[in-house]
Amino acid sequence: MRDPKIVMTLMVRDEADIVAAMIEHHLAQGVDLVIVTDNGSVDGTREILEDYAGTGRLEVHDYLAHDKNQTAVVSGMASRAATVHGATWVLNADADEFFLARTPGLTLKDAFTGIPTGIGSFHAPVVNMTGEPARRGAAFGRLVWRDEREESTLMETVALHAHPSADAVHVGKADVTVQQGNHGVDIPSMGAPDDRFAIEVLHFPWRTYEQYSTKIVNTGRSYDANPTLNPSPRHHGMRDYRFWKAGVLEPLYLVRHPAAEPGDGFTKDERVLASLRGLLDGGTALRPERLAPLLEATWDGYSDDERTRAAELARIVIPLEIEHIEASTRWRDLYRGEAAVRRRAEQERDAAVAERDRLARNPEARVRRAAGRLVRGVRQRLGALLG
């Protein structure tokens, strides 16, 4: 395909520590336009978005209700990408996600040139990036390790149920529906890209404790404000919201970061850092004054003693969380079983009432039904006598 048009959507709230880097990265990679909905940010994110809107490469909208209505908002942006901007491909992203071609040397534009639109949609795997923890400060110089630990060990060690779910990428379509979390769409997938053009996402969820605790509180309170949403007991945001309310989120933040020299399960990956530095050094950053502070080499870190105490506390908290999840899951399964029994009983009752009313309106049918029961009863008794 020659020069596909790539449009990215982004719903964002209070991500001033990363959003400029995210926008610069994707526009440099060949994304033609970013459509952003700001969800009532108060940390300067909205002002950063206005700066980039001035370049003509970003379109900004507002959604002020903090009700976690992501499906409707993102689906609306994805539809607009197709109907207003003629998108060939749409990437629905979060502010902490950086899409990349897996083949070295290829940009996103290069990769999508080799992906046929006939596949409709496909999933791009997401990898968490981690490194040295910090209370506040720049993140990209620290978070250069891909977390590829065995998934079955995550819950017992760092209170994570699993690695991130893949993100759905799709062709432009007017009436598309994007699932909560951007992990699925209603456009069927007819295959996956050739390995030469594969896409992956590097995810930076735990940049600093200051940033992460704000995000968790925002997430938890948004779900609290929308009773129509029912996150599972395993929902990562609500799990960490429980940790925050219990006063133990910071130790759990700390144990999710490896030691200075990570062991098995971590692979170094500095592509995002190198890309962002290249934009500054090469003078191609659209808003260098926004990007430069995010690449500083200073941050407020933690001592070895603090990390040791965090690990000790995590060894107490995590078994309690596992017990909570198992109890919640058992209660949910029991409730669903009882609800299913109630629904069946209600359906049988409604059917009996409907049949009674039908027979009341048609006495002849009632007689025929009684006669039928009598005949069946005689046949059963004769069968028993003759059998």
Predicted confidence at residue 90, as pLDDT, reads 98
- Going along the chain, which residue ranges are E strands? 6-12, 33-38, 58-62, 89-93, 97-101, 121-124, 126-130, 134-137, 145-147, 167-171, 199-203, 266-268, 299-301
- With tokens 């689906």, the residue in question is 75
Q: CB neighbours of 212 closer than 8 A, spacing ≥ 6?
A: 205, 206, 249, 253
Predicted confidence at residue 121, as pLDDT, reads 97
- Residue 288: which H helix or E strand, with range? helix 288-291
Predicted confidence at residue 235, as pLDDT, reads 60
The helix/strand/coil state of 358 is helix
Predicted confidence at residue 4, as pLDDT, reads 96
For the chain, residues with pLDDT lower than 50 are: 233
Radius of gyration of the CA atoms of the chain, in A: 27
Measuring CA to CA, how many Å separate 112 from each of 2, 89, 127, 197, 224?
9, 8, 20, 7, 39
CA distance 268 to 256: 16
Predicted confidence at residue 185, as pLDDT, reads 95
| Global pTM exceeds 0.85 | no
CA distance 71 to 75: 6
Predicted confidence at residue 229, as pLDDT, reads 67
